[in-house]
Amino acid sequence: MRPTKKQAMIVAGVMSGTSADGIDVALVKITATDRNLKIKLLAHHAMSYPAALRRGVLAAMDAKQTSTAELARLNWRLGMAYAEAVRAAVDKYGVKIDLVGCHGQTIYHQSKPATYAGCPVGCTWQLGEPALIATEMRVPVVSNFRPADMAVGGQGAPLVPLLDYVMFANAERTRVLQNLGGIGNLTVIPASGKAADLIAFDTGPGNMVIDALMERFFQKQYDRDGGVAARGRVLEQVVKDVLRKSYFSLRPPKSAGREQFGAAFTAEFVGACEKAGGTPDDAVATATAVTAESIAIAYERFVAPLSKGKAVDYIVSGGGARNATLMKMLRERLEPMACKVAVIDEIGIPSQAKEAVAFALLAWQTWHGLAGNVPSATGAKRAVVLGEICYG
């Protein structure tokens, strides 16, 4: 059934990030007014991946070799999981939805073209069969958001800046929205700036390497409250060596993923920590410091010159915002540079829900035939309508 393009819609945004720990569903009311959009988060529901499904996702992400059958099955199994998560959210909160926006699970993202079969090819692939969600919920589903931006020369990421602008633009203060998912990414909104003035890019690893080390050494999915990092010793030389990698000095726009900071990077990182005489606790502490320092360097090099010495609101979201050790490191580095660091929960949005809210907004944009990318963030030649619509 096709809903009308009405003034107010309730959209379910669905997100599963590069940490591959589960699914977030945000139920969002989006209202169009004469001047702008009003976005209200009605509810947030989180669902962990079953252990077998998480193993399948991680194996696909880092696979040197796999089969078409395995990927096809994973695509459908993820679609089932997304449908289950949306259904659980709707039933739990008693909300009737009009539309779903599902990012899907990224298993490969190559933002820069490389030669393949005689041609330069850039590509991205998100799994999760949308027809299963549409059939379960009987509403249209917008998915596959990234390719349209890449088709016009963009990197397909980051796509959250539109939400950052709609919700956080301020006439008097520059604001930086820092997400700490598997990958760290930020959006800079200059004071009184327009959407075209945004700068956004991936800063490097967020939780990805920390989570991989926790899995490897402690059989845990993540470092709860940063407890392991707090008792470890930061191996300063390892941090310095990592930050010499070319990615950190590249100018924006730029994007990253497991291709840069996945299994191969983690194995090299562990070797460097062991060579430096580090323990597993030290390795986790050092990975946490790499995340904090890469963000501080990105701010210092690419953002601080824009603020012209004025105070900046630095708003952090994502799973890493719950890591007390990481947040302490960030404050120690950013506050001397006139950044007022806050967690997004303090201004009314759960950290874990933000990206799901973003894909609810992007689905709304697509449904109304409106562009969803921000070319200054992705490097695209022009703004385009994102995604594909599957009808229930």
The whole-number mean pLDDT for each consecutive block of 10 residues of the chain, a chain of 392 residues, reads 68 90 95 86 96 93 87 98 98 97 94 93 96 98 97 94 92 93 93 88 95 96 96 98 96 88 94 98 98 97 86 93 97 96 86 93 96 94 97 87
SS3 at position 146? helix
Which residues contact residue 237 at a Cβ distance below 8 angstroms, ignoring those fewer than 6 apart? 276
User: Comparing 8-156+352-390 with 161-347, is the CATH topology the same?
Assistant: yes
| pLDDT score at 373 | 96
| pLDDT score at 356 | 96
| pLDDT score at 6 | 63
Q: List the chain domain ranges.
A: 8-156+352-390, 161-347
Query: Could you give the C-alpha distances from 75 to 48, 56, 103, 334, in angstroms and in order?
Result: 17, 10, 13, 40
Euclidean distance between CA atoms 324 and 231, whole angstroms: 12
Q: Rounded to two decimals, what is the model's pTM? A: 0.87
Provide the angle, in degrees to the nearest 10, between the axes of the packed helices 208-218 and 280-298: 180
- How many other C-beta atoms are found inside a 10 Å radius of the C-beta of residue 183? 28
Chain-centre distance for alpha carbon 74: 21
Per-residue DSSP letter, 299: I
Euclidean distance between CA atoms 171 and 193, whole angstroms: 8
CATH number of 161-347: 3.30.420.40
| pLDDT score at 370 | 95
Architecture of domain 8-156+352-390: 2-Layer Sandwich (3.30)
SS3 at position 287? helix
- Amino acid identity of residue 128, one-letter, is G
Residue 12: closest CA among 77, 138, 96, 68: 96
Greatest distance between any 2 Cα atoms in the chain: 63
